[in-house]
Amino acid sequence: MSRRKKKSLFTRKKISKPKYTMGIPTDSEWKTMPNFASFIVADEEGEEHTFSIQETAFILPEGVLPDKMHHPTAYWIGRIKQIRARNDEDVWALVQWYWSPQEVNSVIKSFDVSGCGQYERIMSDYYDYVSTASFCDHAAVMRYDERSIGQEVFDSDDFYCRYDLEYRARKILPNVTRSACCCGVSYNPDRDPVMHFCPRPACRAAYHQECLQRPTQRLDPAARARKFIESWPDTDEQLSIEDVVGSQQCRKRRKRPEYAISDPLEQFPEELVKAAQQQIVKGVQAGGVVGNVKAVVAARQLIYCSLLEGSSLPTDWKDKVDVEAAIPPKRKSSPVFVCPQCQSLI
Ligand SMILES: [Zn+2]
Ligand SMILES: [Zn+2]
C-alpha cells in the first residue's frame, strides 16, 4: 500500500509588524478587490509555498507565535475558497473553517466531545476573511463516512471529518446517532480499542465490544469462519453459503452439476476465503482508525457475487481485495459477538 507523504509543518518566517493597517476587509470592500488563484508564503529557509483555491491549510490561531513549530492540532484548519488582495503585501483569503469538536460543543451543547478523537474536525459553513500572513502549511482532512463499506483507510495522526456543521441552524449532519453504537456514544478512534462492524445493508454500524452480546451457541473455529462470510454485505437475508449457491441453481433452472463440489468455498483461492472470514474491526488495537472494513467487505462481495451468478472469480480479483489489509499480520483475534440489530456474527 502506498503511504501518503506525511504532512510537515514548516516554521514561518518571523512576521514583522503587519504592514497593512486597514484591517479585515468588509463584505462590500471584498467585492471590489481583485481575485487571485493562489498566493505564496515563504518559510524560514526562504522556501516558497503556494496555496491555491480549494486547498486546505493550517492557519495560525490568534495569539499563537508564528516562529515556533506547534503540534498540528494547535493550528486552525480551513479551506481556501477565494483569494483577493488590496496590494502585494495585503493579501486575504476567504476561508471555510473546519471546527474542532470543542468549538462545536460551544454552540451545540448536545454535541458529545468524548465521542471525537483529537484529529477530528467538523466542516462548517462558517467563513471568514483571513490574512495570508497567518497561513502556515498545507493540511489534509480525510472524509470519513463510518457507514461506508468503501471507506479508504488513513493513519491515526491524519485529520478526518465525519460531520458537517450548519452554523445558523445549529445542526450537525449526518445525525450523530446514525453512525453511533447502540449505546448512543460515537466511536472515538483515540479511545476505543476494538469496534465490531456489521456490514449488512440495514446495519452498517460499529459497536463497542462492551456493548455487545456473545453468541448463544458455541461454534468451532471452522463454523465460526463460515458464519463470518455469511454476514453478507450485499443482502440482509440470512443466507448460508449453500443457500446462495442454491438460489443460483434455482434461477438458472439447472440441475446440480454431477461433480457437485462438496464445499462451494473450495473453488476460491485460500487467501480470498481467509480475507472474507475476518472479523470486521477497527480501533487502536484492531488495525487502525478505519480498520479492515473495505478489504473484508470486498472479499465477501466477490464470493457472494460469484456464488450467486455461478460465475468464476474475475482474474483481477486481487485488484479488488487488499488481502494484506484484511488480515493484518499481528492482530490478536478478538472474541466473537452478534450484531444487536441483525444477529449476524461480528
Ligand atoms: Zn457502545
Ligand atoms: Zn447487523
The CA angle 49-54-60, to the nearest 5 degrees, is 55
Q: What φ, ψ does residue 60 adopt, rounded to 5°? A: -70, 120
Domain extent for 287: 195-326
How remote is the CA of residue 144 from the centroid of ligand 1, in Å?
19
> In terms of domains, do 91 and 171 share one?
yes
Mean pLDDT of the chain: 90
Q: Which amino acid belongs to residue 196? A: H
d(Cα 134, Cα 338) in Å, to the nearest integer?
50
187 located within any domain: no
How remote is the CA of residue 185 from the centroid of ligand 1, in Å?
6
Question: How many folded domains does the chain comprise?
Answer: 2
Check if the beta carbon of residue 191 is closer than 8 Å to that of residue 324.
no
How remote is the CA of residue 288 from the centroid of ligand 1, in Å?
18
Q: Which amino acid belongs to residue 114? A: S
> In terms of domains, do 210 and 282 share one?
yes
Q: How confident is the model at residue 178 (pLDDT cuts 50, 70, 90)?
A: confident
All cell numbers assigned to 292: 479492515
How remote is the CA of residue 183 from the centroid of ligand 2, in Å?
15
> Which ligand gives the minimal distance to the CA of 346?
2
> Which ligand gives the minimal distance to the CA of 191?
1
Domain end among 124, 143, 178: 178
Q: Which amino acid belongs to residue 36? A: F
> Which ligand gives the minimal distance to the CA of 208?
1
d(Cα 30, Cα 84) in Å, to the nearest integer?
7
> In terms of domains, do 160 and 223 share one?
no
How remote is the CA of residue 269 from the centroid of ligand 2, in Å?
27
First to last CA, the chain: 26
> Which ligand gives the minimal distance to the CA of 186?
1
Taking every pair of C-alpha atoms in the chain, what is the biggest distance, in angstroms?
A: 87
189 located within any domain: no
Q: How confident is the model at residue 252 (pLDDT cuts 50, 70, 90)?
A: low
How remote is the CA of residue 117 from the centroid of ligand 2, in Å?
25
Average pLDDT over residues 223-234: 96
Count of all residues that appear for the chain in the document: 346
How remote is the CA of residue 337 from the centroid of ligand 2, in Å?
11
Average pLDDT over residues 137-166: 96
- Cβ neighbors of 1 (< 8 A, separation 6 or more) are 153, 322, 324, 325
